[in-house]
């Protein structure tokens, strides 16, 4: 399990780094899909198979594919990729990288300074998740449905000609 | 056995990569994708915390995170389409006219 986790973590990190540095939006999104599949493997290795399935079906399958369709609707051509590359000069990355490194140092300190302990080696079944979701967390489910409705109405309103 | 720090550190690294993209890129498509990367890293942290204590709450929270990501992405994409139709560019810095038609 540890080998699977480490391999998937490496794939996820590398493809995410590639995704944020591509000039071509479609290539970047395809790398992002690979990173999401790696994330699904990580969830599986941690013992959360339902989350892994959701990550593939909902995130990689629905959300990113919607993103991909919209990027294709924007009909970005070679000139757009060139302009994109001109916006990505090396000097642009320096200041954000410094801030991100500072934040990363603080986060690494916070994570590794706390007490150790392994991820519990059992598997949480979809049954347990569903039981929790539709009994104690029912109010949150209703709130989520309202959020989706608000998003639907907003997208419909903004998309009107 | 996986020490809980490893997935937590991975979530932090992914969040920081997303933040780097958000700060450094100008194209709105990449800004939105960086936000998605950050949301996804949050999901990994929820799963890690849930599995550390052997609790289904982490997966329940991931479902809500996915819900939020979908709702946010739909509105973000429609706003990008509208901006592109009006300004004929994807440059986030070009959107400076905050007024009615």
Q: Which residue of A has its CA nearest to B45?
A: A43
Element containing residue A146 per DSSP (H, E):
helix A138-159
**B99 falls in which pLDDT band (50, 70, 90)?**
low
Question: Residue B48: what pLDDT?
Answer: 92
Give the structural domain span for B39: 7-89
pLDDT in tens, chain A (161 residues): 589 999 999 999 999 999 999 888 899 999 999 999 999 999 999 989 999 999 999 999 999 999 999 988 887 777 777 887 888 888 888 999 999 999 999 998 888 888 777 777 788 899 999 999 999 999 999 999 999 999 999 999 998 87
- The residue written with tokens 């599986």 in the block is A44
Residue B95 belongs to some domain of the structure: no
Residue B94 belongs to some domain of the structure: no
Domain count, chain B: 1
State whether B48 and A46 contact (CB < 8 Å): yes
Structure-block tokens of residue A10: 């490496």
State whether A133 and B63 contact (CB < 8 Å): yes
Residue B46 belongs to some domain of the structure: yes
State the CATH number of the domain containing residue B23: 1.10.287.3510
Is A14 exposed, middle or buried (CB count within 10 Å of its CB: 0-12, 13-18, 19+)?
middle
Q: Give the Cα separation of A151 and A122 in Å (integer).
A: 37
CB within 8 Å of chain B, chain A residues 138-157: 140, 144, 147-148, 150-152, 154-155
Residues B81 and B88: beta-carbon distance below 8 Å: no
Question: Residue B86: what pLDDT?
Answer: 81
Residue B101 belongs to some domain of the structure: no
Residues 6 or more apart whose CB falls under 8 angstroms from that of B64 comprise A140, A144
**b (16+ CB within 10 A) / e for B39-64:** bbbbbbbbbbbbbbeeebbbbbbbbb
CA distances B95 to A22, B82, B91, Å, are 23, 11, 8
Q: Give the Cα separation of B7 and A145 in Å (integer).
A: 30
- The residue written with tokens 């290539």 in the block is A27
**Fold annotation for A1-109:** 1.20.120
State whether B77 and A66 contact (CB < 8 Å): yes
**What ipTM does the predicted assembly reach?**
0.90
Supply the mean pLDDT for chain B: 89
pTM, rounded to two decimals:
0.91
């Amino acid at each position: 399990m540890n080998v699977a986790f480490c391999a998937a973590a490496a794939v996820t990190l590398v493809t995410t780094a590639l995704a944020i540095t591509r000039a071509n939006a479609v290539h970047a999104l395809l790398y992002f899909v690979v990173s999401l599949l790696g994330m699904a493997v990580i969830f599986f290795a941690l013992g959360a198979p339902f989350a892994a399935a959701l990550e593939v079906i909902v995130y990689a399958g629905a959300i990113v594919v919607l993103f991909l369709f919209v990027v294709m609707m924007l009909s970005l051509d070679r000139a757009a990729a060139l302009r994109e590359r001109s916006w990505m000069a090396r000097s642009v990355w320096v200041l954000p990288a410094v801030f991100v490194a500072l934040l990363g140092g603080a986060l690494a300190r916070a994570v590794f300074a706390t007490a150790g302990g392994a991820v519990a080696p059992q598997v949480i079944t979809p049954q347990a998740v569903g039981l929790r979701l539709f009994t104690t967390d029912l109010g949150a489910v209703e709130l989520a449905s309202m959020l989706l409705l608000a998003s639907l109405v907003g997208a419909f309103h903004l998309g009107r000609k | 056995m996986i020490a809980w720090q490893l997935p937590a550190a991975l979530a932090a690294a992914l969040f920081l990569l997303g933040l780097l993209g958000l700060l450094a890129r100008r194209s709105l498509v990449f800004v939105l994708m960086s936000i998605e990367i950050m949301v996804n890293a949050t999901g990994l942290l929820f799963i890690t915390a849930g599995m550390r204590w052997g609790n289904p709450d982490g997966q329940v929270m991931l479902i809500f995170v996915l819900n939020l990501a979908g709702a946010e992405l739909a509105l973000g994409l429609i706003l990008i389409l509208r901006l592109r139709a009006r300004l004929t560019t994807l440059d986030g810095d070009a959107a400076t006219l905050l007024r009615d038609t």
